[in-house]
Amino acid sequence: MSIDETASSAHSGSGADEEAPEDLEASSEERASIRSQRLAKLEVMRAGGTDPYPYRYDRDRTVGDLRAEFDMLEAGSETEVNVRIAGRLMLKREQGRLTFGQLRDRTGEVQLFVSAGVLGKEAFAEFNTLDRGDWVGVEGFVMVTKKGELSVKVTSYELLSKALRPLPDKWKGLADVDARYRQRYVDLTVNTDARRVFEIRFAAVDAIRAELRDRGYLEVETPFLHLQQGGATARPFTTHYNALDLTTYLRIALELPLKRLLVGGFERVFEIGRVFRNEGIDTRHNPEFTMLEAYEAFGDYNEMIELVESLVSGAALAATGATSVEVRGNIIELAAPWRRVTMVDLIKEVIGVDIHPGMDLAEARAVLDGLGLSWKDSWGAGRCTHEVYDELVESKVVQPTVVLDHPRETSPLAKPHRDNPDLVERFEVIVDGRELANAYSELNDPVEQLLRFQEGAAQKAAGDLEAGDVDLDYIRALEYGMPPAGGLGIGIDRLIMLLAGVESIREVILFPTLRPESGLSEDDFLPS
């Protein structure tokens, strides 16, 4: 028999046992019917002595290994190399005494060439009862069809996990966006774009970790449960610790425990971990998200500029193969050096307004009034300046920009600016109109830090739910002496949004926060 067919050329073939892909908008009765058919197959297998969920399968190669080893074979080649591979059956098309399958593992896809003449009539018929979505292990010989398709001529197979629910259409995927996020396990199976986004994420985070380790940073783990609210301006989640009868907070930042480690003599530390903020959900915000925070003794925010430029451009290169990305038609160049500009100068440049933390408060309020922005009685000129920047300026910045020298009033953990007491040595990195990173020359004066904490606590007592507490243990740590240091925070999720070119933070979080699903019942899972 000449071997010149491929699964793609067999796409128009029909198989009597092939089910239509699952339509998530179909009626519950239709979905239940499809599931019942598969449950019936399951019972037939068990009655015949086949375990549809065996314990293990010994494969000797991945699909990626197979392609690396044999992709240079000429069309029409047949080998005597026997291989064992395993993965999910993504396609099955029957053509008489031949069946073509497409097997996918984590490294790629390869065609299965299944012949009644090779497998035997009975085993061939049993293979054809498999469904798209089943996990299978196959053994066979490596070959290439006359059309150049690398394939495995199957000599034996084993069902590894029976899929009771059919996958959505390979080309349409999950049409409902919420269903994609809620059933990410399905989305990753059928949506190559979703897999690409998370491959970018994994590669970028690996690159960041590797560079920090190369620079002598130690990766550490710090507590998720905090006794005080602090490290950032945000509303926390609270929980109750029964054993100690205490109200505790899920961390809103990584900062204070990491700086305690600087006091303890670990001069370069970092953590990549989840933080939690009890705030709104939109395309840029998820209540739990991933932060990198890194701290380096004996430096200041100038060292942090070089560090963030290197980490971001290195992550881009590792994850995408380039240091430039396209976002909404704009080519954004992430290679260093990035533009540097003070917040006050950027406000003046973008909207032509002169406002700064040292000006008279009445004048600052008048500026906000003229711009149509509201203000609160508790705000000073520094907070007014930051409001103009937040509301009218940040979104206009496209290329990577280091926005330097923020108001002291909005930065309780940063060191005072060495040339202007109304400012602190802090910068934000803005890319594509969004904050990507934040960094300080870290405040290490315990007397000044206590005053800043007390100011925040007074704001909290006045009703500001985002203001922090006085952390006396942290003050005690500073009193033992913390070396001068620079600190950096990078929003990992926003970085991946940038590198992957996606608009919603939910696209880059494997399991984003969603409203509870309605209509799901145990009755949907009981055998018919």
Give the pLDDT confidence of 459-511 residue by residue, as tens digits. Answer: 888 877 777 788 999 999 999 999 999 999 999 999 999 999 999 999 999 99
Backbone angles phi, psi at 147, to 5 degrees: -90, 5
Helix, strand, or coil (residue 102): strand
Answer yes or no: is pLDDT of 528 > 80. no
CA–CA separation, 310 vs 410, rounded Å? 27
Output the pLDDT for position 60.
Answer: 96
pLDDT on residue 185: 94
Ordered structural domains, the chain, with CATH: 28-161 (2.40.50.140), 192-338+399-507 (3.30.930.10)
Band (1; pLDDT cuts 50, 70, 90): very low
**pLDDT above 70 (res 130):** yes
Q: Distance (Å, rounded) from C-alpha 117 to C-alpha 157?
A: 15
Q: Are the beta carbons of 290 and 492 closer than 8 angstroms?
A: yes
pLDDT for the residue 26: 52
Confidence of residue 330 (pLDDT cuts 50, 70, 90): very high
**Mean pLDDT, rounded, of the chain:** 91
- Across the range 385-403, mean pLDDT stands at 98
Asked if the model's pLDDT at residue 22 lies above 50, the reply is no
Q: Quote the pLDDT of residue 411.
A: 92
**Residue 7 has what pLDDT?**
47
| Lowest-confidence segment of 14-23, 443-452, 471-480, 515-524 by average pLDDT | 14-23
Helices and strands in the chain, H and E counts: 15, 18
- What's the chain's length in residues? 528
Q: How high is the pLDDT of residue 486?
A: 98
pLDDT of residue 27: 56
Dump pLDDT digits (tens) for 274-293: 999 998 888 889 999 999 99
Query: Stretch 440-463: mean pLDDT, rounded?
Result: 91
Based on the number of CB atoms within 10 Å of its own CB, is 487 exposed (0-12), middle (13-18) or buried (19 or more)?
Answer: buried
Rg, the chain, Cα only? 29
Q: How far is CA 10 from the centre of its chain?
A: 37
The structure tokens 């954004």 sit at 332
pLDDT tens sequence across 227-264: 887 777 788 999 999 999 999 999 999 999 999 999 99
Q: Residue 192: count other Cβ atoms within 10 Å of its Cβ.
A: 10
Query: What token pair was written down for 54?
Result: 């065996």
User: Could you read off the pLDDT of 341-383 as tens digits, one per residue?
Assistant: 999 999 999 999 999 999 999 999 999 999 999 999 989 999 9
Share of the chain above pLDDT 70, in %: 94
Residue 48, amino acid: G
pTM assigned to the model: 0.90
pLDDT at 107 over 80: yes
328 against 450, higher pLDDT: 450
With the C-alpha atoms ordered 350, 356, 361, 363, is the resulting torsion angle positive or negative? negative
- The dihedrals phi and psi of 52, each to the nearest 5 degrees, come to -75, -5
Residue 113 pairs with which residues in a beta bridge? 100, 153
Residue from 21, 159, 172 nearest 87 by CA = 159
The C-alpha angle with vertex 94 and arms to 115 and 141, in degrees rounded to 5, equals 30
CA 397/CA 347 separation, integer angstroms = 11
Residue 167 CB neighbour total at 10 angstroms: 20
**pLDDT given at position 140:** 97
Place of tokens 């949004």: 497
pLDDT at position 467: 76
* 75-84, 161-170, 198-207, 475-484: range with lowest mean pLDDT: 161-170
Bond before 337 cis per omega within 30 degrees: yes
Task: Give the model's confidence band at 28: pLDDT under 50 very low, under 70 low, under 90 confident, else very high.
Answer: low
| C-beta atoms surrounding 156 within 10 Å | 14
**Alpha-carbon span 471 to 77, nearest angstrom:** 71
Quick check: 144 pLDDT over 70? yes
Own/partner contacts of 31-37, CB < 8 Å, gap of 24 or more, are 31/165, 32/524, 32/528, 34/165, 34/166, 35/164, 35/165, 35/528, 36/528
Please state the φ and ψ torsions of residue 450, each to the nearest 5 degrees: -65, -40
Region 148-169: what's the mean pLDDT? 94
pLDDT at residue 298, as a whole number = 98
Residue bearing the bigger pLDDT, 477 or 3: 477
Residue 341 bridge partners (DSSP): 403
Q: What is the DSSP letter of 477?
A: H
